[in-house]
Amino acid sequence: MRSVIQRVKRASVTVHGETVGQISGGLLVLLAVGQGDGADDLTWMVDKLVGLRIFEDEEQKMNRSILDVGGEILVVSQFTLYGDCWRGKRPSFSSAAPPEQAKEMFERSVEAIRSYGLKVETGVF
């Protein structure tokens, strides 16, 4: 699994002109599932995501996690994180999981994050 994590004051995802996911503050997570990713990878990624201390404490040190600040998370599927541009001009996505497997792992990841009591919004897979 791969992810890009960004702190945000607000974020939303729009599909065909309709907002399908929106948060007021917390983390925007672009999440990709790779070939061979399994339950252990999912657990590691979710634990890392909710435990990352990337929010400031009262001394302006990045010392608080999303759990500590009670933020929200917007998770967006992004298979292009597995794009390989090593050869040629066209990226290869052969390392990304097949859509059926990726969708299942994406949904399980979202549920695992929600199990921490966090508000989670998503895009459309």
Q: If you classify domain 2-122 with CATH, what class do you get?
A: alpha beta
Structural domain boundaries of the chain?
Answer: 2-122
Tell me which of 55, 78, 106, 122 is the catalytic residue: 78
How many whole angstroms separate alpha carbon 40 and alpha carbon 43?
5
Residue range 27-43: mean pLDDT, rounded: 97
pLDDT per residue as tens digits for the range 73-106: 999 999 999 999 999 999 999 999 999 999 999 9
The 3-state DSSP class for residue 61 equals coil
Whether 43 is catalytic is: no
Q: What is the pLDDT of residue 125?
A: 85
Length of the chain: 125
Whether 80 is catalytic is: yes
pLDDT per residue as tens digits for the range 113-123: 999 999 999 99
Give the pTM: 0.92
Tell me which of 6, 19, 80, 125 is the catalytic residue: 80
